[in-house]
Amino acid sequence: MDLKTYLAEHFPNLTLEPPLFYNWDVAIRFELGNPLMFGINMEHYMERVYHRSLELFKALHDQEDEILLITQAYFADKPKHKVKKLNLYRKYIKKKEPIRALRLEILPDLGCEPDETPDPRNNMYRYWTKCRIEDLKYGQLIKAICNHDVGIKPMIYHRVYFINISKKTIFHIYDDRGCDVISASREALTDIYKEYNDWILDYDRERINNVFLG
């Protein structure tokens, strides 16, 4: 399963960059962290972040589902041979086959204007592989993603996307404040929209309701 082919078929013209919610019509934005709690009790704040992110992930993914695990990273001026491209995958994938099958695509300076010369320091390194949910230490992986901006270890600095091949959904935790879920069909997200409606970010609720109640 080639990533470009899959995206072109099921998510045509999608830019796989944050904010996914605003890049796709069938989308939900959930609140993970309560901003009012952040400065009062960090431990309780992060407990809710972990709980919500894991509950949403489990609601969207079954153990046998096939996924594309994608990491998009920027390494500025690091030489290519010094990029530790397998670290995240070795740590959070249980089987060797998906690690051996890891693909790397280098996308040149996406923010470069047509009349400018691309700067190699702005290259995006996109790593991806196919595996099953049951092959992932997804609890640890999700916590490490949530930890990035709050300075808790372990943490993952890069953007991580979970594309569910089986259900045609994409799950992305953009930081500890929230996550975006998009789908190729409204039906695939109807259950999660209903079950976790209270977790939807109020700022975007009207737009989301128009998709699922319209």
Q: How confident is the model at residue 87 (pLDDT cuts 50, 70, 90)?
A: confident
- The pLDDT of residue 26 is 98
Residue 103, SS3 per DSSP = strand
The DSSP 8-state label assigned to residue 105 in this structure reads E
Backbone angles phi, psi at 79, to 5 degrees: -60, 145
User: What share of the chain in percent tops pLDDT 90?
Assistant: 76
- The pLDDT of residue 76 is 65
Residue 57, SS3 per DSSP = helix
Half-sphere exposure of residue 199: CA atoms within 13 angstroms, side-chain side? 23
Q: Concatenate the DSSP letters of all residues of 10-35 into one string.
A: HSTT---SS-HHHH-SSEEEEE-S-H
User: What share of the chain in percent tops pLDDT 70?
Assistant: 93
Q: How confident is the model at residue 130 (pLDDT cuts 50, 70, 90)?
A: very high
Q: How confident is the model at residue 83 (pLDDT cuts 50, 70, 90)?
A: low
Report which of 186, 149, 130 is spatially closest to residue 35, judged by C-alpha positions: 149
- Least confident range from 11-25, 77-91, 96-110: namely 77-91
- The pLDDT of residue 38 is 87
What residues does each domain of the chain span?
A: 3-110+119-212
For residue range 4-30, list pLDDT tens digits in order.
999 999 999 999 999 999 999 999 999
- The pLDDT of residue 74 is 83
108-131: burial string, b at 16+ Cβ within 10 Å, e else: eeeeeeeeeeeeeeebbbbbbbbb
Q: Concatenate the DSSP letters of all residues of 113-128 into one string.
A: -TTSPPPGGG-EEEEE
CA dist 152 and 191 (Å) reads 32
- The pLDDT of residue 191 is 97
- 3-state secondary structure string across 70-94: EEEEECCCCCHHHCCCCHHHHHHEC
Output the pTM of the full model.
0.93
